[in-house]
């Protein structure tokens, strides 16, 4: 036990699937003296954050705010508020996080209609069209950036299909958000959630979400109560919006301070510059790894710039190399998840961890080791 020593860490370079490195300004904001969660000064901070969530989601949606819990709670918020027992939901699955959505849908008492693609490949619009026509879908949910496989799912054409089927379009943007284009209004997304510890580079534990007017209408016309008390938006929204600002739960004040500063950094940089930075550092890493004979299993046009899933060459020992990176070079990268365990490395170049220096450091360390 080390409880008798003051807390410190080895200041790792965080290049796994999250959390990512955090800017010193964000850490400093987190140490700001507390105010009450209903203090007018805090309400103002919440308004600042709401404005910046809308800006980064590229949406005018009024019901846009931050759930006081990690990305998985954002996922659950979107699904439990929109689904009632007996509903049908089309869930697209090509990795770990699609499976997690299906699990939540079942727990809502709704019926899951699965659309599956092999891990490492995107879901096709033909598959989606077909699935939507075989049921009466209340919603279709899909992962934009599948962190377990490194696949970027094209979304532009799906919104129309979902609308034509009279359903709501639900998107997991946990890893894509603030690292590549996410256009909520233009892509006709009705409910979207993200997390703070990936390309936004804030500490983990919060989940930005947004609901369209159509989604709010579905919420308001429910026959049954939302299954979760904590995540029930009909109640939480009175804390985040409107004149009342009624107590619902005690907001994680310090985490919100940090989040506000992380958003300010995003807006200062500008979304397009930020996307470009993620892309160019991805290319730098790709070229360096290729020289070493390390390749991407995902087809080039569907690769995530912020999460580089690469095949571990047969002659290299997965665990040993990741341990050496961590203990000798202070660098964290991710191993494979689910059926890709032991087969892939997942190298995160997210937010603050997407820099030339991070890429060059990792390449140098790998060359040293292998």
Chain residues that interact with ligand PLP, rule: CB under 6 A:
18, 70-72, 75, 97, 143, 145, 147, 172, 174-175, 195, 204
Taking the least distance from each CB to ligand PLP, the nearer of 45 and 142 is 142
Identify the DSSP state of 20.
P
For the CB of residue 245, give the shortest distance to ligand PLP in the complex, in Å: 26
Taking the least distance from each CB to ligand PLP, the nearer of 75 and 178 is 75
For the CB of residue 149, give the shortest distance to ligand PLP in the complex, in Å: 10
Using alpha carbons only, what angle is made at residue 336 by residues 342 and 96, rounded to the nearest 5 degrees? 130
Taking the least distance from each CB to ligand PLP, the nearer of 54 and 148 is 148
For the CB of residue 71, give the shortest distance to ligand PLP in the complex, in Å: 2
Taking the least distance from each CB to ligand PLP, the nearer of 20 and 84 is 20
Q: What are phi and psi of 332, to 5 degrees?
A: -100, 125
For the CB of residue 67, give the shortest distance to ligand PLP in the complex, in Å: 10
User: What is the CB-side half-sphere exposure of residue 17 using CA atoms within 13 A?
Assistant: 21
Taking the least distance from each CB to ligand PLP, the nearer of 71 and 137 is 71
Nearest to 233 by CA among 18, 68, 32, 24: 68
For the CB of residue 358, give the shortest distance to ligand PLP in the complex, in Å: 19
Distance CA 251, CA 68 (A): 7
Q: Are strands 111-116 and 344-348 parallel, antiparallel or unpaired?
A: unpaired
Using alpha carbons only, what angle is made at residue 184 by residues 178 and 188, rounded to the nearest 5 degrees? 155
For the CB of residue 98, give the shortest distance to ligand PLP in the complex, in Å: 9
Nearest to 57 by CA among 187, 164, 153: 187
For the CB of residue 143, give the shortest distance to ligand PLP in the complex, in Å: 5
Determine the length of the chain.
370
Which residue number has the CB closest to ligand PLP? 71
Taking the least distance from each CB to ligand PLP, the nearer of 233 and 350 is 350
Three-state SS for 211?
strand
Taking the least distance from each CB to ligand PLP, the nearer of 59 and 94 is 94
Taking the least distance from each CB to ligand PLP, the nearer of 72 and 254 is 72
Distance CA 256, CA 32 (A): 11
One DSSP character per residue, 116-153 reads E--TTSPPPHHHHHHHHHTS-EEEEEEESEETTTTEEP
For the CB of residue 248, give the shortest distance to ligand PLP in the complex, in Å: 21
Distance CA 123, CA 151 (A): 10
């Amino acid at each position: 036990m080390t409880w008798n020593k003051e807390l410190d860490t080895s200041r790792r370079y965080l290049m796994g699937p999250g959390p990512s490195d955090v800017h010193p300004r964000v850490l400093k904001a987190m140490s700001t003296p507390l105010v009450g969660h209903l203090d007018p000064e805090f309400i103002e901070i919440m308004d600042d954050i709401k404005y910046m969530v809308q800006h980064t989601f590229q949406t005018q949606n009024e019901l846009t705010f931050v759930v006081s819990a990690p990305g998985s709670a954002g996922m659950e918020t979107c699904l439990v508020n929109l689904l009632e027992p007996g509903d049908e939901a089309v869930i697209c699955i090509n990795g770990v996080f699609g499976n997690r959505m299906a699990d939540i849908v079942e727990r809502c008492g709704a019926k899951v209609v699965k659309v599956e693609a092999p891990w490492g490949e995107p879901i096709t619009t033909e598959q989606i069209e077909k699935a939507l026509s075989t049921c009466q879908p209340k919603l279709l949910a899909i992962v934009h950036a599948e962190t377990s496989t490194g696949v970027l799912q094209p979304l532009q054409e799906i919104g129309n299909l979902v609308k034509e089927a009279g359903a709501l379009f639900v998107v997991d943007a946990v890893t894509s958000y603030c690292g590549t284009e996410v256009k909520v209004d233009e892509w006709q997304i009705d409910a979207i959630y993200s997390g703070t510890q990936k390309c936004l580079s804030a500490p983990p534990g919060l989940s930005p979400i947004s609901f369209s007017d159509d989604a709010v209408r579905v919420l308001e016309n429910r026959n049954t109560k939302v299954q979760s008390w904590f995540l029930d938006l009909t109640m939480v929204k009175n804390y985040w919006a409107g004149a009342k600002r009624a107590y619902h739960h005690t907001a994680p004040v310090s985490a919100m301070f940090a989040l506000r500063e992380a958003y300010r950094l995003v807006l200062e940089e500008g979304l397009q510059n930020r996307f470009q930075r993620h892309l160019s550092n991805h290319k730098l890493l790709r070229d360096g790894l290729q020289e070493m004979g390390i390749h991407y299993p995902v087809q080039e046009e569907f690769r995530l710039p912020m999460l580089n899933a690469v095949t571990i060459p047969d002659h290299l020992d997965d665990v040993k190399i990741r341990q050496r990176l961590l203990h000798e070079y202070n660098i964290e990268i991710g191993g494979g998840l689910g059926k890709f365990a032991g087969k892939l490395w997942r190298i995160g170049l997210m937010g603050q961890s997407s820099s030339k220096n991070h890429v060059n450091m990792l390449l140098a360390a790998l060359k040293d080791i292998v």
